[in-house]
Structure 1
Amino acid sequence: QANEANETIGGKKKKRRKAKMPSFYTQKPVPKENKTRRLTPSVYSQEMSLSTEERFANTKEVHPPRILELMDMSMTTHQKMSMVDMDQALFQPYPSELIFQNVIPTHIYKLQLRLFNVDKVPRRVKVELQESEYFSVVGPENSLSKVAPCRSVTFTVFFKPQEKKDYHFSVVFVTERERFEVPVHAIGPRAILNFQDEIQFPMCLVKATMERTQQMINVGNSPAKFELTTQEPFSVVPSCGTLEIGESMQVVISFSPITKGEYNQDLLLHYHTGENVFASLRGTCEELDINLGTDSITLNKTYISLASIHKISLTNTSDSILHYCWSVWASQLEENLSLMRGSSVLQEMEEEVREQLLFQYKSDPTLIHRLPVLYRALQYGKGKTELDHLVLSHSCITLEPATGKIWPKMSQTFTIFFKPKKAKFYQGTIYCDITGHQSRLPLKFKGEGMGPKLQLSYNMMNMKNVFVGERNCYEVDVSNKGLIDAPFKLSCPNTTFGRCFSFNPDEAVIPFGGHQIVRIVFHSRTIGPFSEDLILTVKGQPKPLILTFRGCAVCPTFHFNLAELNFGDVAFGFPKTLTCTLFNTSFVPMYFSLRVLGDGLGSPSVTSAKQVSDMSKYNWKNCVSALSDITIKVTLCSNTARTYKMTMAVDVEGVGEAIKSLPIYARCICITPSKSPSFGRCC
């Protein structure tokens, strides 16, 4: 591009063209850090095979140079005002960096570097001399003169390598406002791995894996140390390696989508020399229309310790092999989150991460790819579990086979074992994670576990009135009406009357169809009404059987043959004895003791004949057999003149004190001798 201007030479007018900014710089340069150059394998291979001059000729892009220092324009020029921003140099170098490559040691190479004045006024620029054994810079002859706007000045950079390796240098320029640099690189030997720019995978089923094998050869002139990385659902093996010049290896790229749709990711090939090369990976994922034969099953009622069997089938109508795995989790996300709970390291952040991921997962199912593979490694024995069988959390359902594959146009039959551990109602859902279907196939189940069926010959016994101290025996027949053995244990409540029961046997195992006689003994030393529930606990039954005993513990019945003991008048110091009979009208022996209320605990009354053989005891104890009587002698020997109105109390052992009493009446009189006769005086 040029503008015409008239110039008179030798009296003739001649058109002259004014130079403007070259075509490659019609727009403002893009900052280098904001524009990443992406090289495909073919472009990188072609670029590395170019000579220095060919690469220089193919350079099209420019970016602003890096400013090293800002100068005080008042000290360098009178043109202090500039139309160029402060973050941009007054001169734009072309090219933005110089690259020498495929050079021969001791040969001299040169490249021209042009600096364009991007300001609206003439500006001065000079090169800052730097010592280098390999690089040198030569400027124009009139290097001290100013450069007009939109005009350029050319510098020549010479390079003389001594060996095949990388060299780095910077050419520093000084303008009236700043110092900036232009980097110079000399690229030594490089590895070049031939790789496809784009790898297209054929249609893949959800949760299936497609593989592509890429033969990779080092066609460069240096050994290759490389790394290969990509993002899910793509993966690459090996992820790193070393190839000598001319050597080759196979790289396997896998495509494992878990949701349907189209996928596009980059495969990054990173060389140890710093270059990054990008290949494109593309794939499409589809979902099969596949379902279980039924989505709900009702399991037969099953006794605990026994098992019932149910079968379901799954048919593969596609032309691909389908892999399946049964699980208790509805999705892979829930499974991974469950495994996170097993890690003590992640336990504190579990709730926060769980809520956040579940919220995001609803709008972006591919979020599952972001969960680290570490969570899968935390699964307790997952590898062995998948190879053996599936056991649900409540351990009542076993499914076989739990993992495997279904061949095309074939069906797989699954056997479900229902083995309840408790007599209760079970229900839940298990899921089949299968290739070709995005969501896991649910299978709802319900079933009832039955425990041993024991039956009592009666559930309530009314004992009515029972005597204290009497051993009452009862028998109950416990029969097994079920189809499994029934271990049981009989226990009583820890109450006053509950502790009065004993059993024989208190525990046993009744085979199916059999029965057991249990002997129950009630022996109480306490009177009063009672109602006690004996607990028959059956292993495997959540609810025990209740055997109720009701009744009232009463005192033994007895009476005296007299209404009272009346001694009448007794002489002072002379004993007097009366007899009475105590009749036991109950059916149990009665242990009793007698005492006279108010008789005191002092020294007993005695006579010269020792009226009572043993009066040192406060009361007298004895036993009267069932339906019998005993004769009681009561002796009164008074040493005090007084009237007696007392009571003889009967205490029954184990029942209470003063259960019955017999009144005692007496009066002790004292005989006073008459006065001595008086005698008169004898003469």
Structure 2
Amino acid sequence: MEADSVLMESESEPGEGVSERGQGDSVSVQSESGVSSILTTNIPQSCFHFDIMQLISWFIETHPNQHEIKPSEYQSQVELATNERYDTLVKLSKRKQMPLDGYTESSTFSVQPSLLVFQNIVPGQTYKANVKITNVKLTTQTLAVSKFPEPQSEFKISYTTKLTSMKLAPGMTITLKLEFCPEENIDRRTHIELTSRVGLFHVPILVLGPRPLINMPDLVELPRTFPKMESERVVHVKNIGTVEIGFTLSVKRPFSVSPIKSRLHPEQEINVSIHCMSHAVGHFESKLRVQFDTGEFIFSDVKCE
């Protein structure tokens, strides 16, 4: 049932457990479970760069230490539009815990989606997303938005009710309507903070700036060879992203790769040579690791007989 059926009380200050704080503070907050956590807000946004590999592992439903992300998987995740990402988040957050430390989830309310991500954004364009919050308990619960996402010049929230403090009967839902008009295309993080009688919880918001992107294949197969005879495969690698990138290539023996380090402007390309030299007959496999200077990494399979 949507918010038209919500039992509302008069407008008031945010609920208990919320403390006033200035920009750039680190604040101890009380979660619904009674466990205190630290939310650090003093990271300069111009210096912030989110670890997207952790996020991609969550998107493709695998543990980052148990899966080596292939170039095609990485590319498909990085190239999604914001509306496509929103659809995946709604599906994922119904069954998976969000992968962010320092944020508190709710056991009293169902939040869909539990995380908002804006990616491949264009400065000056407006993006919209809805967050539905449902009371999953058998008793009426109070709810208030105690902190709005920052900067408020770029983020705006509207409600399916005009009041900022309300009561939700069991099974009742309120929808937060978020509008985001970015001034620049950079990484940043913020959140919506909500307070109930039992504590507070958050809806994290991530904005992802441009990411490095190359057209590396998932599999490189070298021509068949003989012991002590070198096999080689040349791969044409192109920067298909929108920013200049630097990356380092590495692979284990009996394979080798050159050049090891490269830097490419958008649309620029190079030839990468992969070699295999073995002293014995057999089937050889390895992983070609691409490590971008900004921290992202992908793996291609390499094979030779």
Deviations 1:185-225 (A, max 9, x none): 22223332111121123334445442221111112111112
Question: What pairs up with 1:472-551 in 2 under 5 angstroms?
Answer: none
Deviations 1:79-104 (A, max 9, x none): xxxxxxxx974445433432212222
What is the distance in 2 between the residues matched to 1:209 and 1:123?
70
Check the 8 A contact 1:127/1:139 in 2, yes or no: no
1:41 pairs with one of 61, 71, 78 = 71
Residue 278 (structure 2) pairs with residue 245 (structure 1): no
- CA shift, 1:248, in A, is 0.7
- What's the secondary structure of 1:162's corresponding residue? coil
Q: In the alignment, residue 156 of structure 1 is paired with which amino acid?
A: K
Match of 1:97 in 2: 115
Question: Normalising by structure 2, what TM-score?
Answer: 0.63
- CA shift, 1:247, in A, is 0.8
What is the distance in 1 between the residues matched to 2:274 and 2:233?
5
Match of 1:61 in 2: 92
Deviations 1:519-566 (A, max 9, x none): xxxxxxxxxxxxxxxxxxxxxxxxxxxxxxxxxxxxxxxxxxxxxxxx
Check the 8 A contact 1:128/1:172 in 2, yes or no: yes
What is the distance in 1 between the residues matched to 2:138 and 2:283?
52
**CA 1:107–1:265 in structure 2 vs 1: closer, same or farther (change >3 Å)?**
same
Check the 8 A contact 2:229/2:277 in 1, yes or no: yes
Residue 142 (structure 2) pairs with residue 138 (structure 1): no
- CA shift, 1:114, in A, is 3.1
The structure with more radius of gyration: 1
Deviations 1:643-670 (A, max 9, x none): xxxxxxxxxxxxxxxxxxxxxxxxxxxx
Structure 1: segments with no counterpart, 5+ residues:
1-30, 71-86, 285-683
Q: In the alignment, residue 155 of structure 2 is paired with which amino acid?
A: F
Deviations 1:595-619 (A, max 9, x none): xxxxxxxxxxxxxxxxxxxxxxxxx
Question: Normalising by structure 1, what TM-score?
Answer: 0.31
Identity %, equivalent residues = 25
Question: What pairs up with 1:141-220 in 2 under 5 angstroms?
Answer: 141=161, 144-146=166-168, 148=170, 152-206=173-227, 208-220=229-241
Check the 8 A contact 1:107/1:160 in 2, yes or no: yes
Q: In the alignment, residue 165 of structure 1 is paired with which amino acid?
A: I
| Count of aligned pairs between the two proteins | 237
Check the 8 A contact 1:68/1:180 in 2, yes or no: no
- CA shift, 1:53, in A, is 1.1
What is the distance in 2 between the residues matched to 1:257 and 1:118?
62
- CA shift, 1:177, in A, is 3.8
Question: What pairs up with 1:421-436 in 2 under 5 angstroms?
Answer: none
Question: What pairs up with 1:563-574 in 2 under 5 angstroms?
Answer: none
Q: In the alignment, residue 206 of structure 2 is paired with which amino acid?
A: H
Check the 8 A contact 1:89/1:178 in 2, yes or no: no
Check the 8 A contact 1:69/1:179 in 2, yes or no: no
What is the distance in 1 between the residues matched to 2:125 and 2:204?
21
Q: In the alignment, residue 40 of structure 1 is paired with which amino acid?
A: K
Deviations 1:369-405 (A, max 9, x none): xxxxxxxxxxxxxxxxxxxxxxxxxxxxxxxxxxxxx
**CA 1:240–1:127 in structure 2 vs 1: closer, same or farther (change >3 Å)?**
farther
Check the 8 A contact 1:92/1:115 in 2, yes or no: yes
Larger RCO, structure (CA 8 Å, separation 6 or more): 2
Q: By percentage of residues, which structure has more strand?
A: 1
What is the distance in 1 between the residues matched to 2:110 and 2:300?
33
**CA 1:38–1:140 in structure 2 vs 1: closer, same or farther (change >3 Å)?**
farther
